[in-house]
């Protein structure tokens, strides 16, 4: 074990510490690799470079080139190789360098990865994790700021999750790797450097579960529920803080699991508040936000005091960097939606 590995291994077991989301992912990958020598990482520039966002920094040096593989620029090849490794008993973790690069590997994910377990009548498991840095806000060029998560939520056989903070980054990565099902793991890249205190010795909650992260004041009549995931969670928490200054109480819920959806905490909150605002960077058409809105309407119809409002990206291709501030949901758009739902 190298000195660097010793320091990081020691850091992973220190209890509560301050980590960025990127470091939480890194330590989560490290913990999984230390626990199981069948865990293998593969992707473009993830070895010597440590990945474009340095999420795999130091892992090839410590675990070797046979467990942290720098691949050719071929997303289809990366996913295909991972499927073969998984069938032979390994637990591959693929990195897709940017969200918009995933489409060359789409056929392998949909036609093979999602279907092998079902096709084999349960005889074959394909425990593959596909890491996807996603979302906008980094001033990037075309194909680097997409939010394609809903595409994968339509596909039976895949689990789809997204972390929004360093604690979930650390624990959800390990849980996804331990899963015997293929997991699409979406990482909010513009939030990679946001910090939080992480207890690396605590018992984590379940992977496929949403969570109430802020409970509003129940003693006010001006109440609503904000639901989001990934990069927009920070915006929603900021909106709840700003709204509280005006006497508006907001519950904030992080979906975490996008497929299958875990909506019971959402239903419980909406039954208390009577109002729902769903926030996501992805376009609104045929999306996770539309599914949440439909399910809440079905389950909480007699509790709703206003229509469900959605704050989303627009139904256009992602714009050039100089226009992305107009495309992405921001504090003003979220608070405006809250005002609209309270006006009923």
The angle at the Cα of 258, spanning 253 to 263, to the nearest 5 degrees, equals 50
Closest CA to 143 of 94, 97, 188, 196: 97
249: nearest Cα among 227, 226, 267, 280: 226
Total number of residues shown for the chain: 344
Alpha-carbon distance of 186 to 254, in angstroms, equals: 14
Given 143, 144, 154, 309, the catalytic residue? 144
How many CA atoms, within 13 angstroms, populate the side-chain half-sphere of residue 11? 18
CA–chain centroid gap for 15, Å, is 24
Rounded CA separation 184/263 (Å):
19
**144 included as an active-site residue:** yes
For tokens 């969670």, the residue is 233
For 204-213, b/e burial (b = at least 16 CB within 10 A) is: eeebbebbeb
Residues near 322 by beta carbon (within 8 Å), at least 6 away in sequence: none
Distance CA 204, CA 163 (A): 13
Q: Are 58 and 23 in contact (CB under 8 A)?
A: no
Which residues are identified as catalytic? 144
């Amino acid at each position: 074990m190298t000195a660097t590995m010793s320091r990081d291994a020691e850091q992973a077991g220190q209890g509560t510490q301050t980590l960025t989301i990127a470091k939480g992912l890194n330590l989560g990958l490290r913990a999984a690799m230390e626990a199981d020598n069948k865990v293998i990482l593969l992707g473009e520039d993830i070895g010597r470079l440590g990945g474009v966002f340095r999420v795999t920094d130091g892992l090839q040096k410590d675990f070797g080139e046979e467990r942290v593989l720098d691949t050719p620029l071929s997303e289809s090849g990366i996913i295909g190789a991972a499927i073969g490794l998984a069938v032979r008993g390994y637990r591959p973790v693929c990195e897709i360098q940017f969200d918009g690069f995933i489409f060359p590997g789409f056929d392998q994910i949909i036609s093979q990865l999602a279907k092998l377990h079902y096709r084999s009548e349960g005889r074959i498991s394909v425990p593959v994790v596909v890491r996807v840095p996603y979302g906008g806000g980094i001033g990037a060029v075309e194909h680097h700021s997409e939010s394609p998560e809903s595409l994968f939520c339509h596909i039976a056989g895949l689990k789809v999750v997204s972390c929004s903070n360093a604690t979930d980054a650390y624990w959800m990565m390990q849980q996804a790797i331990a899963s015997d099902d293929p997991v699409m793991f979406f990482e909010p890249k513009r939030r990679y450097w946001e910090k939080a205190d992480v207890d690396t010795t605590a018992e984590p909650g379940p992977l496929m579960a949403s969570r109430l992260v802020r409970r509003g004041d129940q003693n006010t009549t001006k109440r609503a529920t904000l639901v989001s995931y990934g990069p927009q969670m920070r915006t929603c928490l900021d909106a709840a803080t700003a709204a509280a200054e005006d006497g508006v109480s907001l519950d904030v819920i992080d979906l975490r699991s996008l497929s299958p959806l875990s909506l019971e905490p959402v239903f419980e909150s909406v039954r208390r508040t009577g109002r729902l605002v769903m926030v996501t960077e992805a376009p609104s058409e045929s999306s996770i936000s539309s599914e949440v809105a439909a399910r809440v309407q079905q389950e909480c119809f007699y509790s709703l005091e206003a229509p469900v409002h959605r704050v989303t990206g627009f139904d256009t291709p992602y714009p050039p960097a100089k226009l992305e501030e107009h495309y992405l949901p921001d504090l003003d758009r979220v608070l405006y939606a809250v005002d609209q739902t309270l006006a009923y």
